[in-house]
């Protein structure tokens, strides 16, 4: 959403520090971000993809950091990052695909640098970001989805009820809020059960996002016509 809108002035935040540090590096020194990726990619050429991945993953798990994490997100299985809840250990294995080249990564860095030039990045709880919003501002929320993403975000504690409380308070002071959350699965056969407070949102839209990402890897080579997914977009305006 941030890349599409490319707002003139914005803030973006997340509670997961290695993730937000990627964006902070993009903001402060995009050439460093390119070098960090290229250095880790060079291990693929030296050791082979899997051994390089395992080496970088082991280093990340000993000392979580953005430089290792950005490479892992580009090379892990399906791009699906999983954490062990007990200690935050990243457990995703190496992907079947090849990591993108340093040249391709550098090109993406340049594009994102341009489109986020007006954005400041913060490592903080979403409630603190809500407190910074003024009347007439728009907040877009993309929290962990309640139906299937607990395994992907297992290292973090997240309260959807707390988010709804923040949205209610923001709405009362004239801040607009858009929230993406679970919609339907199995090509509309399943409506995901989300505990949405009555009267909090003015509109509900369902947005087709394609076939299930997780099923795409679980059912390699099989048809996925029955696994189309929609997201639910909830709007306070």
Strands 190-191 and 203-211: unpaired
- The residue-averaged pLDDT of 20-43 equals 98
Q: Could you say which of 81, 115, 149 is where a domain stops?
A: 115
State the Cα–Cα distance between residues 178 and 26, nearest whole angstrom. 26
pTM of the model: 0.86
Q: Are residues 106 and 146 in the same domain?
A: no
Q: Are residues 26 and 66 in the same domain?
A: yes
- Tokens representing 168 are 């209610």
Q: Are residues 108 and 140 in the same domain?
A: no
Strands 138-141 and 176-185: parallel
- The residue-averaged pLDDT of 111-128 equals 97
Let me know how long the chain is. 237
Q: Could you say which of 115, 133, 156 is where a domain stops?
A: 115
DSSP class of residue 225 equals G
Establish if 153 belongs to a structural domain: yes
Establish if 23 belongs to a structural domain: yes
**Number of structural domains found in the chain:** 2
Place of tokens 């056969």: 189
Q: Are residues 20 and 68 in the same domain?
A: yes
Q: Are residues 98 and 131 in the same domain?
A: no
Q: Does the structure show a pLDDT above 80 at 222?
A: no
Residues 6+ apart with CB under 8 A from 111: 3
Q: Are residues 19 and 46 in the same domain?
A: yes
Establish if 120 belongs to a structural domain: no
- Tokens representing 184 are 């339907």
Q: What pLDDT is attached to residue 39? A: 98
Q: Are residues 99 and 129 in the same domain?
A: no
CATH label of the domain that carries residue 14: 1.10.1020.10
Q: Are residues 17 and 101 in the same domain?
A: yes
Q: Could you say which of 95, 115, 135 is where a domain stops?
A: 115
Q: Does the structure show a pLDDT above 80 at 49?
A: yes
Establish if 26 belongs to a structural domain: yes
Strands 176-185 and 190-191: antiparallel
Q: Are residues 26 and 109 in the same domain?
A: yes
Q: Could you tell me the pLDDT band of residue 219, with boundaries at 50, 70 and 90?
A: very low
Given a contact cutoff of 8 angstroms between Cβ atoms, the answer to whether 193 and 147 are in contact is yes
Burial of 82 (0-12, 13-18, 19+ CB in 10 A): middle
Q: How far apart are the first and last CA of the chain?
A: 18
Q: Are residues 111 and 49 in the same domain?
A: yes
Q: Are residues 106 and 148 in the same domain?
A: no
Domain extent for 64: 2-115
- Tokens representing 158 are 């997240």
- The residue-averaged pLDDT of 214-227 equals 51
Establish if 142 belongs to a structural domain: yes
Q: What pLDDT is attached to residue 145? A: 83
Q: Does the structure show a pLDDT above 90 at 19?
A: yes
Q: Are residues 80 and 170 in the same domain?
A: no
């Amino acid at each position: 959403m941030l890349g599409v809108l490319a707002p003139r002035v914005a803030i973006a935040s997340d509670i997961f520090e290695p993730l937000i540090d990627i964006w902070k590096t993009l903001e402060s020194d995009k050439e460093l971000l390119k070098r960090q990726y290229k250095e880790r990619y060079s291990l693929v050429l030296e050791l082979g993809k899997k051994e390089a991945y395992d080496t970088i993953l082991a280093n990340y798990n000993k000392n979580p950091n953005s430089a290792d994490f950005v490479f892992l997100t580009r090379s892990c299985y399906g791009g699906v990052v999983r954490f062990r809840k007990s200690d935050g250990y990243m457990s995703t294995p190496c992907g079947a695909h090849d990591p993108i080249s340093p040249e391709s990564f550098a090109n993406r860095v340049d594009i994102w640098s341009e489109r986020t030039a007006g954005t400041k990045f913060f490592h903080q709880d979403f409630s603190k970001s809500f407190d910074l919003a003024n009347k007439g501002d728009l907040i877009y929320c993309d929290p962990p989805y309640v139906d299937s993403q607990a395994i992907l975000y297992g290292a973090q504690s997240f309260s959807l009820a707390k988010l709804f409380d923040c949205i209610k308070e923001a709405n009362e002071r004239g801040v607009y809020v858009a929230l993406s959350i679970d919609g339907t699965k199995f090509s509309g056969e399943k409506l995901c059960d989300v505990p949405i407070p009555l009267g909090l949102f003015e509109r509900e839209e369902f947005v087709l996002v394609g076939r299930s990402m997780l099923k795409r890897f679980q059912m390699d080579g099989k048809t996925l016509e029955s696994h189309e997914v929609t997201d639910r977009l909830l709007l306070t305006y």
